[in-house]
């Protein structure tokens, strides 16, 4: 039994231009921009594709090359990496951190933005790096800027 056959379930679809397996769907479609073909990779349940890329022509130079297990595995890996990078970028956009020195203490000030449409806000937290003690936690507007100066103001209690 091949690896592809061993990994299939009763819901898997393995057709020339459509594969559904392991929570992913690959569909070969006509490329609207030229005469070629494209492949769309969707995580099952998502409305938008995680990845869209060019697809190879078949031997007849007219129809698309059929999907196969190796191609599908590569597409799943690539689409997963795209989603992982997008999630990391989203986390980075919602979390900022800066280290400052206050007296003799090193302090980390974090800004965590809550992407809440009904109650947009951010939480600023100051932590003494030596002891791990939380020095201050406060709610601010989501567009509040974390800078060296604003971090000093948080620790001094001048923000509120």
Q: In angstroms, rounded to a whole number, what is the distance separating the alpha carbons of residues 120 and 104?
A: 35
Closest C-alpha to 115, from 88, 91, 96:
91
pLDDT at residue 149 tops 90 = yes
Residues 9-24 have pLDDT tens digits of 568 999 999 999 999 9
Q: Is residue 98 part of a domain?
A: no
Residue-wise pLDDT tens digits, 49-103:
999 999 999 888 889 999 999 999 999 999 999 999 999 999 888 999 999 999 9
Give the chain's domain count: 2
Whether 87 and 118 map to the same domain: the answer is no
| Statement to judge: residues 89 and 108 lie in one domain | no
In terms of residue numbers, what domain contains 130?
103-156
Q: Kindly report the backbone phi and psi dihedral angles of residue 61, in degrees, each rounded to the nearest multiple of 5, phi listed first.
A: 60, 20
What radius of gyration, in Å, describes the C-alpha atoms of the chain? 25
pLDDT at 3: 43
Across the range 94-121, mean pLDDT stands at: 93
Would you call 80 exposed, middle or buried from its count of C-beta atoms within 10 A (0-12, 13-18, 19+)?
A: middle
121 in any annotated domain: yes
Q: Is residue 15 in a domain?
A: yes
Residues 112 and 80 in one domain: no
105 and 126 Cβ atoms separated by less than 8 Å: no
């Amino acid at each position: 039994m091949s690896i592809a056959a061993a990994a299939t379930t009763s819901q898997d679809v393995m057709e020339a231009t459509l594969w559904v397996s392991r929570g992913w769907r690959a569909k070969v479609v006509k490329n609207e921009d030229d005469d070629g073909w494209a492949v769309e990779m969707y995580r099952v349940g998502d409305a938008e594709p995680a990845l869209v890329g060019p697809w190879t022509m078949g031997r007849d130079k007219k129809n698309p090359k059929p999907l196969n297990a190796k191609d599908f595995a590569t597409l799943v890996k690539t689409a997963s990496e795209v989603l992982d990078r997008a999630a990391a970028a989203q986390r980075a956009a919602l979390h900022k951190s800066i280290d400052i020195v206050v007296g003799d203490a090193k302090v980390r000030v974090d800004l965590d933005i809550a992407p809440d449409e009904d109650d947009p806000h951010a939480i600023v937290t100051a932590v003494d790096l030596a002891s791990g003690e939380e020095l201050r936690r406060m709610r601010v507007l989501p567009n509040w800027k974390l800078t060296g100066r604003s971090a000093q103001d948080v620790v001094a209690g001048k923000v509120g």
